[in-house]
Structure formats: structure tokens, C-alpha cells
Structure 1
Amino acid sequence: MKLHLIDRSTPRDTSFTAKVHEDSNFLKLWHYHPELELVVILKSDGNCFIGDGIEKFEPGDVFLIGKNTPHMWLNQEAYFADDPELVAKSIAIHFKKDFLGDHFFETPEMHHLSELFDRARFGVKFLNLQSEFLETVQTMLSLDGFHKTIAFLNILNTLSSHKDYKLLASSGYMKSFKVKTNKTLDRVYAYIFKNFNKDISLDAVAKIANMNATAFSRLFKRVNGKPFSRYVSEIRIGYACKLLLEEKVNISEVCYEVGFNNISNFNRQFKIIMGCNPSEYIKEHVNSYQEG
């Protein structure tokens, strides 16, 4: 799966774009663009891939994705079955950091928004936003010119002060990612994210990179600071943690859903990465997750 540059540029008569996207499913494409992207999910669910992070999405979720941060929205399989009752719908706002001028967000009064844009390079999911926020975004779509711009600044201001959020991509991935110079590993990352819950062999991934397994292993460890197998395990365990916190499936089901072939290996890798076993993780985190 190739990383694609998508044209999200704005028309000449506006400084940013805000549109409702509605189709049978979201664009299943690993891509990036120089614009930041604010996304509000209105209908459908699935997984979003932002950098090397994997996060579930559902109606009401709000994400901010940074400039040139690779991402993809992948609906559940049911949304690809031509069921007219299933619709994927979202509001997407695309804008550049300097959409109001080269120095507007460098002023002291706008420093907090500049910090928000910096966080966005990791991909941000905002948690527990009030329902009024979604109404504000939808209302903004019907405004024009000056009033629309002021409304959007108010939206960004609200997000900048919202403390309940999570960053999705790792700092290691974003440091290693280069739009123009990392095409070999882009293909590898895209393959991993698409197949993380399946069997992924070193030989198969090395072939995608057009390298032998030994050379690829050296390259991958040098760029990411960890072996390939550890990288894949961290992605799987990270996603397993999300599933465990939701309490919709038991530990054994989670094990196989995230790509492990047996429960003992899953438990072993979980403890290596998280410092505790899955049962201990649930006891420690579920209550605070539900309260949040």
C-alpha cells in the first residue's frame, strides 16, 4: 500500500475548507497533505491509522491531524458490502498553519493555538467533548466569510484548552518520517498498519522494501531504535490495550484479534511492553477509563 500525496488545497476565495463528506465508506487510502485536518465523525465506525498509531473511531469522535502526517480511515468491513443503510459521514476541515497570514499565529495572543498545531503532528484525539462542540462545528458550515473564520478560531480555541486528549503517533515514528526521503519505509509502515492483526513475516516485509532480511533488519532498527519484531508487537499491544479497556471482548479474544497466535505469547509480550499482564492492566485502568 503506497503513501499518497492528496491535494487538499483551498480555493482562492477562502482561507480554509470545511465540508461534509458522506459516502458508503471513508477513503481507504494511506495518505498525507500539507494542510492540517480537523475531523468530526458523524456516522460509521472503524479504525484510523495516524502515523504508527491505531485508534478506533465512532460517531462524535474528533481528531486533529498535523501537516504531512500520514493517515488513513478504515471503516468496518460491513461498510464495504453495498448496504444502503450504512453510511460513513464526517465533517473535514482542512487548513494550513499560516491560513491567516505568515505571522498571525506567532503573536502572543495566538501562542496557544500554535502549540495545538504542533501537537497535531502526532495526531490528536479529543476525549469527552461536550455535545455543544459538535453543534458549533455544524453551525459553522452555514456561515460565510468573516463570521465563518471567527467561528473556526473559536473552535480551535476550545480544542487548545481542552485537557482530555491523547496523542496517537509515537515520537520515534514522527522523527523518522520524511515525506521525500523515506519512501522505502513508508511502504513498510503502510503494510504493517494494514496487516498488523495478521501474520507478518520479516521476509515478506523485507521483500516489500526490496532488501534482504538482514539488511532490512539493520535499517529498521537504526531508524526506529528497536527491532522490527518489537515494533510490530508494540502496535499490537497498543491496540490490545484499547480493546481491553472497552471490555467488549475477553482477553483470549483480544489476543487473536490483534494478531497473536497463542495466548501465552500474547501474555508474555504484553508484560514485556506494558510491565504487567492483561488482567492486571484491566484492574488498574478500566475504572479510570470508564470514569473519564
Structure 2
Amino acid sequence: MKLHLLNRASSKDSSFSVAYNRYPNFLKIWHHHPELELVVIQKSTGTRFIGDSIEKFGEGEVILIGAHLPHMWLNDEIYFDPDSHLIAEALGIHFRRDFLGGQFFDTPEMQSISKLIERARQGIKFIDVDPDLIRSIEDLANVEGFEKTMQFLNTLFLLAKHKNFRLLASTGYVNTFNRTDGKNLDVIYAYIFKNFKNPIHSKDVAGVAHMNASAFSRFFKRVHRKTFTKYLNEIRVGYACKLLMEQKSNVSLVCYESGFNNISNFNRQFKSIMHMSPTEYIRLHAQ
């Protein structure tokens, strides 16, 4: 599945775009763009692909996708039937983090929205969204200027406060596209991302961080709430997902190219993290 970079830039008279989409089916393209995207599914069903997350979708779904996070909404086969009278409808809002200026969301008053944008790097599915909020999002297609901007800011604020949500793409997958730049962890991340395809151990990374092995293990688990080995396996499986979706290699080649040293361990770790086998994953992306 080839990944496409799409142009979602807003028009000259607006700092963000609001588009109502109504077609026989959604765009069948695995794509990404520098803009974040807020989506409300109004009609249609199918399978949603966001990073390495694969789930069924339906009407009323509210999703926020981070910048350059690959995604696709693939309608059920019946939507592609020449005799089908079904319609796929959705509202999509595209905006850049700096659409109101480079430092706007760094101000104290905007910290909740800034954290929302950071979470969106993995894609967010909002659960049990108030119907009034959904109507407010949909109404953005009918307002302009200052009122439109203030209503959108209020939408982001309310979504930032919404407690019932689920992150979609795994950390490992996201980090194959975006290099994390955490302050004190720069050297650790740099070493992991440079060497994850090779045999590396926590003691190797501990040496780079000038820590003894046991102290590093405690530090890493405290920061990430998981062991270094689990994190490394997520990075490798995330990279494997990227290769499998792009159909560049078969399972055996992907196993070794993503840093695993044998097929059985690769299959075991892949299923543990993705809840399906690599073969099943390929089959889902071959549509």
C-alpha cells in the first residue's frame, strides 16, 4: 500500500479548513499531510486505518489525527458496488499547530489544547461525545471569520477536557515517522532509533546515557511505564508494520529488517502487540 502526501492546505482567507464531504465512498488512499485532522463520520461504515491501528468505524465517530500520521477510511465493499445507492458523509477540519501563530499554544492558557495536540500524534478516538459538541463541530461549516475561529478553539478545548478517549497508533509506529525530542532523553532516543534494527541491549543504551544498567532500567520504566525491552519491541513491530503496509518485503525479510533475530520471536512479539499475526495484518491491508 503506497503512502501518499496530500495537500490539505487551507485557503488564503482562512487559517484552517472545514470541508463537508459527501461521496459514494471515501478516498481509498493511504495518505498523510502536515495538518492535523479532526473528523466526524456522519454516514457510512467500513474499516479505519490510522498508523498501525485497524478498526471498524461507523456513524457518529469523532477522531483527531496528528500531523503526518498515515491514515485511511476504507468503506465496506458494498459502497463500491456500481448499483449501490449508499453515501459516505463526513466533516473534516484540517489545521496546523501554528495556525494562530508559532507560540500561541505554548501559552499557559492553551496548555490543555497543547497536550491534546501532542496526544494526537498517535490518533485519538473520542468515546461518548456529547451530541451538542458534535453539532457544534458540524456547524463550523456554516460560520466564518472571528466566530468560526472562536468556535473551533472552544471545540478543541472541550475535546481536550473530554476524559473518555483512546489512543490509536502504537508509540512504536509513530516513532518510525517522528523522532521524539524529549529533553533529557535525546541521547537515549537517538541511539535506539539509530540502532533498533541491530542487536542492542539495555546495557548498551545505559552506557550511552552514562548510567549503570540497573539505574537505567529503573529510570526507563519510570518514564515510559514499561521495560526497555517492551519499548524496543514496540519500535521494531511498528517499523515492521510500516514495511508490511507498504508491501516492500515479505514476512521473513521484514522480521530481520526490523531487528528481530528469528521468525518465531517476531511472530510472537507481533501478535502480542498487534493482537494478530503478520499474515493477518498483510491480509487486512491488501484490500
TM beyond 0.5: yes
2:93 maps to what in 1? 93
Q: Once the 2 structures are TM-superposed, how far is the Cα of residue 125 of structure 1 from its aligned partner?
A: 0.3
Q: Distance in 2 between matches of 1:157 and 1:129?
A: 13
Identify if the C-alpha distance between structure 1 residues 84 and 35 changes in structure 2 by more than 3 Å, giving closer, same or farther: same
- Determine the C-alpha separation between the residues in 2 that align with 1:53 and 1:220: 18
Counterparts of 1:190-269 in structure 2, within 5 Å, are 190-191=245-246, 208-209=248-249, 213=252, 216-221=254-259, 228-230=266-268, 232-234=270-272, 237=275
Q: Secondary structure at the match of 1:38?
A: strand
* Aligned-residue offset at 1:98: 0.4
Aligned-pair CA distance for 1:238: 6.6
Count the aligned residue pairs: 222
Task: Compute the displacement of 1:17 (Å).
Answer: 0.2
Change over 3 Å in CA distance of 1:30–1:186 after alignment to 2: farther
1:73 paired residue number: 73
Q: 1:48-99: CA deviations, max 9, x gaps?
A: 1111111221111100000000111111111111344211000000000000
Counterpart residue identity of residue 245, structure 2:
A
Give 5+ residue unaligned stretches, structure 1.
192-204, 240-255, 260-292
Residue 10 of structure 1 deviates from its aligned partner by: 1.1
One-letter amino acid of the structure 2 residue matched with residue 233 of structure 1: K
Instruction: Tell me the CA shift for residue 235 of structure 1.
Output: 6.6
The answer to whether the 8 Å contact 2:270/2:276 transfers is no
Per the alignment, in what secondary structure is the counterpart of residue 221 of structure 1?
coil
How large is the Cα RMSD of the aligned pairs? 3.1
Gaps of at least 5 residues in structure 2 are 180-193, 195-238
Matches within 5 A, 1:18-167: 18-167=18-167
The aligned residue for residue 187 of structure 2 is none
Which whole-Å CA distance do the structure 1 matches of 2:272 and 2:113 have between them? 31
Change (3 A) 1:107 1:257: closer
Q: Deviations over 1:30-53 (max 9, x none)?
A: 111000000000000111111111
Tell me how far 1:153 sits from its aligned partner: 0.5
Q: Aligned-pair distance for 1:221?
A: 2.9
The match for 1:169 is: 169
Sequence identity percentage: 43
Cα pair 1:55 1:168 within 8 Å, conserved: no
